[in-house]
Amino acid sequence: MTSIIKLLSPRLANQIAAGEVVERPASVIKELLENSIDAGATRLDVEADEGGVKLMRVRDNGKGISRDDLPLALSRHATSKIYELDDLEAVATLGFRGEALASISSVSRLLITANPTDDVSQGWSARSEGRDMETELMPAPHPRGTSVEVRDLFFNTPARRKFLRTEKTEFNRLEDVVKRLALSHFDVAFSLTHNGRALHQWRAASTRVECERRVGQICGAAFMENALYVEVERAGLKLWGWVALPAFSRSQADLQHFYVNGRAIKDKLVTHAVRQAYQDVLFHGRHPAYVLYLELDPATVDVNVHPTKHEVRFRDSRLVHDFLFRTLHHALADVRPQDQLEKTAIEPATSGATAGEFGPQSSLGLAVPSSRMQASQPFAPGMSNPGQVGEQLQHYGALHQGVGPASMASMAPESDDEMPPLGFAIAQLKGVYILAENAQGLVVVDAHAAHERITYERMKAAFEGEGLKAQPLLVPESIPVSEKEAGLAESHAELFASLGFGVERAGPETLLIRQIPVILGQAKVEQLVRDVLSDLAEHGTSDRIRTHINELLSTMACHGSVRANRKLTIPEMNALLRDMEATERSGQCNHGRPTWFLQSMDALDKMFLRGQ
């Protein structure tokens, strides 16, 4: 009887493997550059023709490959990076599977030239053109390092070639790969040439200033002008990098770079933690921008989850999530107007709280919010009264009435050094905007948005101080759940209790809700608990309850804040400016809209052609 199970030929096996590794020119460049970085290269030169389809060439100054190792380098699952199982469980290199060169050579005409010595004459090259593991070795002068040349991608698999996009699209993706790697390895110099035209030259960076220069070149000067530098190390985890101010939000998630031990990843847990850190300050539908680096023990993260190595799995996902969230949450909360204005001292023409892509520009060059929230409707039926949050919270009211208009002349400082960050009020425009003069120029403040944030932060602080008051239910609410969800609720009982919920397991697939927070008396408790369990299953933690409470406090703060068209006195306006300077997240209202903008004197002079 004829056997129907047969071994694949080496060529076919390589081409099947190429389907996982080689999708387009960009994936070839990624594999080649990662190999070069793993080889200790400090300089990488990348050339491409016709989007990389006709030619891709990567040259490095790494440790090179010996003559005897060249044929092995083109074999499947041949690598110098791991030797046993323990190595796989603590991968510290970008590449490790050993199938990249074999897969690439099976669908292209590949030439690799290398030299592990300082003697140029000791170089050798190996050529492979989609054949069955056949390589041609020949002497080839080459300095220390390796050059890989890939020509005619998919020349022997035309069906795959049909799926490639236009030359411009393919090159843009290739360029993105080079940029991502340049962002993660500052100690390596990069160059990129396309169709004979030099496009990028990035020198190796060692200082923070040099690193920020490279980030600005790749992500744009506007990003760096609106970015905060963070660096925190705790519990074996280190997070450092740059996060953009909320006002520099994006319409798409196109400026988000996250690296784990130097490897670029896209991870749901990371995205959720970052999003949660921005939730109180980000305008609806907008996306944060960041370039962040997480460093941890390689043994605590599995990078062998996906063929493209874009995804990872953390051993303690909850620890990582909480660390990311708390670090970024505190970094954003600590920003004050003074911090934003310090950036304008470097670049006077840039506003202290720029809009990024926030909205259209007004005639003054100030970003205009795309919509204005009208806070005139009454409290929603069944919503907790602000008095329940804490009777000590008073309406903003007189606004520091101790300062009278007659004393305003004495408030003017003798020099700009004595001027408060947001300066002193000089007028109110249309009952909506406060106009103030500071050391840099003109500050425009949305009075309602600013007061809303101040009131909201005070309500949150008072609420935290009083604690979450809980009320027992006269009749416990029974919720049918899966056995897995019941187990999650049981193991996270302390989390529910800390948020005012009494949740206990009443059976293999049943939960009982015995008490809830007073402020959530009118909430849909069953759906909220189910959402929390869903978060726990996916992320190991949940902020649903806290978010729901904050949404209620935010609404209360909005209704209790200064309304548009209310005339404020000069002392009232100045009191609001001083409170903004002392309040967390005062650069945005509760809905993520900016609260103030700066128009510098330099910008005003240019607008009116002064000195020209």
The Cα 218–Cα 182 span in angstroms is 9
443 or 405: which leads in pLDDT: 443
- Check residue 294 and give its pLDDT: 96
Of the residues 140, 175, 202, which one is the last residue of a structural domain?
202
SS3 611: coil
- What average pLDDT does the segment 435-463 reach? 90
Nearest to 459 by CA among 575, 550, 579, 326: 550
CA-to-CA distance for 426 and 241, rounded, in angstroms?
39
- CA of 195: how far to CAs of 168, 227, 442, 539, in Å? 11, 34, 48, 45
pLDDT in tens, 521-547: 767 888 888 888 888 887 777 777 777
Q: Calculate the average pLDDT of the chain.
A: 81
pLDDT at residue 230 is higher than 60: yes
Please, which pLDDT band fits residue 350 given cuts at 50, 70 and 90? very low
Query: Could you tell me which residue, 154 or 87, shows the higher pLDDT?
Result: 154
Q: How far apart are CA 344 and CA 599, in angstroms?
A: 10
The residues that bridge with 49 in the sheet, in sequence order, are: 55
Q: Are residues 72 and 112 in the same domain?
A: yes
Residues 96 and 167 in one domain: yes
DSSP of 370-403, one letter per residue? S------S-PPTTPPPHHHH-TT---STT-STTS
In a domain, 374, yes or no: no
Positive/negative CA dihedral, 14, 15, 20, 22? positive
Alpha-carbon distance of 56 to 173, in angstroms, equals 13
Report if residue 381 sits inside a domain. no
User: What does the alpha-carbon distance between residue 480 and residue 417 come to, in Å, rounded to a whole number?
Assistant: 64
Question: Is a pLDDT exceeding 60 seen at residue 607?
Answer: yes
Banded pLDDT at 397 (limits 50, 70, 90):
very low
| Total tally of structural domains belonging to the chain | 3
Counting Cα atoms < 13 Å in the Cβ hemisphere of 508 gives 0
Q: Which of 373, 396, 419, 376 is nearest to 568 (CA)?
A: 396
Q: What percent of the chain has pLDDT over 90?
A: 49
For residue 127, the SS3 value is: strand
Please tell me whether residues 221 and 327 are part of one structural domain.
yes
Q: 74 with 165, same domain?
A: yes
Greatest mean pLDDT among 72-86, 154-168, 358-372 lies in 154-168
* Residue 239 shares a structural domain with residue 194: no
Q: How confident is the model at residue 408 (pLDDT cuts 50, 70, 90)?
A: very low
Structure-derived torsion over alpha carbons of residues 570, 571, 577, 580, reported in degrees to the nearest 10 = -140
Structural domain contains residue 376: no
Give the per-residue pLDDT at 89. Answer: 55
Name the phi and psi angles at 19, rounded to 5. Answer: -65, -30
Please write the tens of the pLDDT for every residue from 310-337: 778 898 988 999 999 999 999 998 888 8
285-289, 294-298, 518-522, 523-527: segment of lowest average pLDDT: 518-522
In angstroms, rounded to a whole number, what is the distance separating the alpha carbons of residues 309 and 348?
43
Report if residue 406 sits inside a domain: no
Q: What is the pLDDT of residue 544?
A: 75
| Residue 212: burial class (beta carbons within 10 Å; 0-12, 13-18, 19+) | middle
Q: Are residues 54 and 136 in the same domain?
A: yes
553 confidence band (pLDDT: 50, 70, 90): confident
Query: Distance between terminal CA atoms of the chain?
Result: 94
Residue 185, SS3? Answer: coil
pLDDT at 359 over 50: no
Query: How many C-beta atoms surround the C-beta of residue 454 within 10 A?
Result: 24
Average pLDDT over residues 16-31: 82
Sign of CA dihedral 364, 369, 372, 373: negative
Inside any domain, residue 255: yes
pLDDT higher than threshold 60 for residue 474: yes
Q: Are strands 470-480 and 510-517 parallel, antiparallel or unpaired?
A: antiparallel
Question: Could you tell me if 506 and 611 lie in one domain?
Answer: yes
Is 362 strand, coil or helix? coil
Is the CA virtual torsion 287, 293, 299, 304 positive or negative? positive
118 & 267 share domain = no
Asked, for residue 350, whether it belongs to a domain, the answer is no
534 against 61, higher pLDDT: 61
Q: Is residue 528 part of a domain?
A: yes
Are 160 and 299 within one domain? Answer: no
| Domain of residue 22, CATH code | 3.30.565.10
Residues belonging to the chain:
612
Strand partners, 313: 302
- State the CATH number of the domain containing residue 427: 3.30.1370.100
What are 445's strand-pairing partners? 434, 596
Are 189 and 212 found together in one domain?
no
Same domain, 225 and 149: no
Residue 16 has a pLDDT of 64
Q: How far apart are CA 292 and CA 288, in angstroms?
A: 12
Q: 374 or 116, which is more confident?
A: 116
81 pLDDT exceeds 80? no
What is the mean pLDDT of the segment spanning 575-604? Answer: 91
Q: Last residue of a domain, which of 180, 202, 224?
A: 202
The DSSP element (H or E) to which 126 belongs, if any, is strand 124-128
pLDDT reported for residue 14 = 64
- Report the distance separating Cα 228 and Cα 241, nearest Å: 8
Going across the sheet that includes 109-115, the strands are 136-139, 124-128, 109-115, 145-151, 55-60, 43-49, 189-194, 197-202
Task: Look at residue 77 in the predicted model and tell me its pLDDT.
Answer: 61
Residue 328 lies in domain:
208-334
CATH code where residue 240 lies: 3.30.230.10
427 and 363 in a single domain? The answer is yes
Average of per-residue pLDDT across 223-235: 94
pLDDT at 18: 61
Across residues 90-109, what is the average pLDDT?
73
404 falls within a domain? no
The whole-number pLDDT of residue 13 equals: 66
Report the chain's C-alpha Rg in angstroms: 30
pLDDT-above-70 percentage for the chain: 79
Which of 40-54, 162-176, 330-344, 566-580 has the least mean pLDDT?
A: 330-344
Q: Indicate whether 88 pLDDT > 70.
A: no
Q: Which of 170, 202, 234 represents a domain boundary (last residue)?
A: 202
Q: What is the SS3 assignment for 16? A: helix
